Chains A and B, each alone.
Chain A
Amino acid sequence: MAGKTLRLEVVTPERMVLSEEIVSLIVPAIEGYMGILPNHAPIISGLEPGVVKYKVDGNYKKMAISGGFLEVSDNKATILANTAELAEEIDVKRAQAAKERAEKRLHDKGDIDVLRAELALKRALARLKAAGQG
């Protein structure tokens, strides 16, 4: 199998979310989405809140992360995420509510922390997108 797959590990401070052999990987890097294939050069990259897509057996699977890091070396990709949820674990209702809350706050302006509201919105959108509702 050498050269055809890479191992993807997703860890959060609280648990290991995923450890799987995959064919390809797409991550939300700081400057846009970035694809990783087997035998990629060693890289360390910052990640934005967004959707991680990875291919197993010809199918793409999705996962929402809220920012973190990617490290690739030696055909092993490790995502250090602040939080990570597989598509089927996402609480759509909660994400929807969070999205509306963040949008309302951005819309009303006032003396709110715009950066924080934007980040919250990004996280909510990532979750919805990963769950296929965005």
Chain B
Amino acid sequence: MATVSDIKRRIRSVKSTQQITKAMKMVAAAKLRRTQTAVVAARPYSAKLKEVLSRLVASSPDFKDPLLEVREPKKVGFVVVSANKGLSGGYNANVIKKAVVAMAQHRDQEVGILAVGRKARDFFRKRNYRIEGEFLGISDVPTVVEAKELAEVVKTFYTEGIYDEVYIVYTEFINAISQRPTIKKLLPIEAPQEKTEGELDYLFDPNPQLVLNQLLPLYLINQIFSALMEAKASEHGATMTAMGSATDNAAELIEQLTLSFNRARQAAITQEIAEIVGGANALSG
């Protein structure tokens, strides 16, 4: 049986672990709040961009642009968005699993990976997937510049015909305790088909084709940007939940240990008394 001092030591160690997980939970909560604010701030732009694009496409559907070109898919690219670190429950495992399942559906084609985050890169590298790009420096609140960098690479791979289709696998943020791995097609761009309310008489300056050629790259960047945002919010949410339950588990463990500590202490005292009484009895007897 564990001695009193052993138990005491364990309690102390669990307590300091609990302090760490508690701090990590609070840090994740603060980061989540910041990311969420950024997500809300980014919404008007996204919505408007989609609206303009769908108006444009509705006005005359036979546009040409390298980003709209549909090709027979010989090689498919996957952008897998994961975190740089663990300690966030099933966050990384879930998104990677989703990516693996999606890639399995493209068994007849070649598959290439652009890994975002150390976790995805390490996973796929260990299993000898073909990693053709890695992005490890996405900040806690993603910036447009980061999204742009990634978009440039994706665009180049596509326009040079290395990839014929590109998908992005990321985690959709539902709320702080629930996130869902999702897959979306990035390229070729499938223009949003939103119903426009009969007001199609737009002028386009200088002309629709040119506006479209300018708009599509921005749309791609924006798609990637919002995926990165969602993924980061999910990561912070998952970390928060994981660290929250770790803190709770630590509390439970401390309670149990305290109980056995008291029992052990009690037993030691009882035994001591029994020994004294036994000794006294032996002397007087």
Contacts and interface: CB of A to CB of B under 8 A. Distances in A.
Contacts of B214: 46, 69
A12 B48 CA distance: 10
A63 to B, nearest CB: 16
Interface in A37-77: 41-46, 68-69, 71, 73-74
B233 to A, nearest CB: 15
A39 B96 CA distance: 52
B72 interface: no
Contacts of A44: 52, 55-56, 202-205, 211
Given A14-B42, A69-B211, A80-B52, A42 B205 contact: no
B49 interface: yes
Residue among B56, B205, B211, B218 facing the most chain A CB atoms (10 A cut-off): B205
Interface string B3-16: 00000000000000
Residue among A14, A44, A74 facing the most chain B CB atoms (10 A cut-off): A44
Interface residues of B, number: 30
A15 B42 CA distance: 5
Interface residues of A, number: 25
Given A31-B206, A44-B204, A44-B205, A13 B144 contact: yes
B160 interface: no
A59 to B, nearest CB: 26
Nearest to A15: B41
Interface of A: 9, 11-16, 29-31, 34, 41-46, 68-69, 71, 73-74, 78, 80, 82
